[in-house]
A and B are shown apart, each in its own frame.
Chain A
Amino acid sequence: MLFLQLIADGLVNGCAIGVVAITFTYVYTTTGVFHVSHAGVFTLGGYLAWYLSKEGIPFVLCVVLAMLICAAVGAAIEKGIYEKLLKRQATPLVQLIASLGLLAVLQNLVAILFTPNVLQFESIAWRMNVLHFGPIDLTIPQVLTVLTAFAAVYGLIYFSTKTNLGRRIRAVASNRTLAEITRLKPFEVYVYVMAISSALVVLPSVFIGLDQAMQPYSSVLVLLTAVIAVISGGLGSIRGAFSASLVMGIVQNAVLIVVPGRWSIALTFTLFIVFILFRPTGLFATKIRRAS
């Protein structure tokens, strides 16, 4: 039964990682920026929701507000930094270093404005409530993680295939020069993409924070796991990234049976390096799209 519980917990983690992964890949395939500071937006979203809930604002409103603020922050990052760099034809390396700097700015702003210590959503009473599914126990935040993750994935897939803006985003992603000629305004599209991704990434941040705890610097690990999932799933595929995240979440938890928890991170990365050596195109082999 312990094994089933571990699998279920892994699935929940996988869902949370999955939302980070699909939003990361959405930005990456469209704008070509290796958006490391996504982890900073993740952190910011969680802390904003925490702060708002502490002020006595209803929880749903807290999440929505945090999502809106992060959407604005994402759009501002695109407008203020990435767009400037892209227009100046900065190399991917320069964009990456700028993104890394931005990550440090966001994380440390959170640490200074709120607290650098581990913190919990004390004001939310129901966060410890447990639901029973046969032999498996899940807390309400865990259930919400899964539900919102699936909503985010299918919402994003629906959005990008069925709506005009979504189709426009895909057009820009597949060929920026052509999109520019046909007046699809790629730079405007990038702002939308960053706003959407930054808003969605708040969801896993809040629910992981609710279920466990938050710390300003831990999000890098979440993002890295997500990026590993993105690469393993084959770059550019939303479904691939999400499925790979689920697999990673389950594997990371299942190995806890044989490996002590403190080693699981090291094990994941070592496995990834070996994996990438033999299967550079990922599980669902699609063409590698490089940021160039």
Chain B
Amino acid sequence: MNFFLSYIILAEIFAIVALSTNFLVGVIGIFSVSQAAIMGVGAYAYAIAVMAGIPFPLALLLAIALCALLNVATSLPSLRLEGDYFVVTSFGLQIVATAVFMNWSAVTGGTSGIAGIPAPRFSGLSFDEPENFVFLSTFALALASASYWLLMRSSYGRTLHAIRLDELAAVAAGRHVLQMKLGISAVSGAYAGLGGALYAIFMSFIDPSSFEIHVSVLILTMLVVGGARTLAGSILGPFIILAVPQMLTLLALPPHLIGPLRSLAFGVILVSFMLWLPKGLAGRKI
């Protein structure tokens, strides 16, 4: 039962991060392969803040705000230039983040990471146990989904779609394209920060390998499989993709091959979906 609950919780956390990626890849149509890095910053920020004695809501807010800020700061140069520069800064951000997690040992604990991250308690109810935590993660996903849904239907969301379809026309219609893109980067960063903080709470242990480039590719695969731009796609994707490693464990494979085989499977999935089903299972055209 716990095993199944953990799967649900992790899928819910990754759904929040997939929504964060969806804002970039699906909504404004820019490539991102650094969502795990932003998520990692959220996780580390939360862990460090909580362990320094800052109360749970404040630490969560801090993680979210920091990620929003970081996402804006790193996307600023690329948003000005559009297109392929974002690929480089995105990859770059991922690699720099991993280097910082690994090497800034005084703060991040280096390769050994941070262990024993306390879970919040509310009126005697501790979120240590998956049975309780699942309510927290479901609530967070519901909140994220609702705000995603509302945002996409607001005039702001519609303008974002217009920017993706024809940026020049949006500029000509007097929209502040750069400001709007920066705004959505901030929102995307905030979602990733929330996902990261929840991840830190649930696992109670974080290390650099949890937020490597493989994880960013994993998140992108979730989005691609579920389908870009829709709410259903971002939620469906993580549930499907997180089931893949479970299925691989059913085939009796030599342990040292499991990691590469899993990544190989994700690569094959990415290529196949782009070739035959770029919309994903429940998404729109990208």
Contacts and interface: CB of A to CB of B under 8 A. Distances in A.
A276 B81 contact: yes
A184 B270 CA distance: 32
A96 interface: yes
A91 B88 contact: no
B278 interface: yes
B25 A101 contact: no
Interface stretch (A53-61, A163-171, A259-267): A259-267
A227 B103 CA distance: 25
Contacts of B29: 91, 93
Interface of B: 25, 29-31, 33, 74, 76-77, 80-85, 87-89, 91-93, 95-96, 99-100, 102-103, 213, 217, 220-221, 224, 256-257, 259-261, 263-264, 266-271, 274-275, 278, 286
Given A104-B266, A227-B88, A273-B74, A290 B99 contact: no
B96 A100 contact: no
B270 A104 contact: yes
Contacts of A96: 31, 87
A105 B264 contact: yes
A251 to B, nearest CB: 16
Given A97-B224, A262-B99, A291 B89 contact: no
Contacts of A262: 99, 102-103
Contacts, number: 134
B188 to A, nearest CB: 16
A90 interface: yes
Interface residues of A, number: 49
Contact of A263 (B99, B220, B278): B99
A234 to B, nearest CB: 13
Contacts of A84: 275
B84 A105 contact: no
Nearest to A116: B260
B17 to A, nearest CB: 17
A94 interface: yes
B256 to A, nearest CB: 7
Contacts of B278: 90, 94
Most chain A Cβ neighbours within 10 Å, of B25, B92, B95, B270? B92
A100 B261 contact: no
B103 A231 contact: no
Interface stretch (A106-114, A133-141, A195-203): A106-114
Nearest to B89: A273
Nearest to A97: B274
Nearest to A36: B87
26 contacts: A85-B274, A90-B278, A94-B278, A94-B286, A97-B31, A97-B220, A97-B224, A98-B275, A101-B266, A101-B274, A104-B267, A104-B270, A108-B264, A116-B259, A220-B95, A224-B88, A224-B92, A231-B85, A262-B102, A262-B103, A266-B99, A269-B95, A273-B74, A273-B89, A280-B77, A290-B82
Contacts of B100: 266
B278 to A, nearest CB: 5
A100 B220 contact: yes
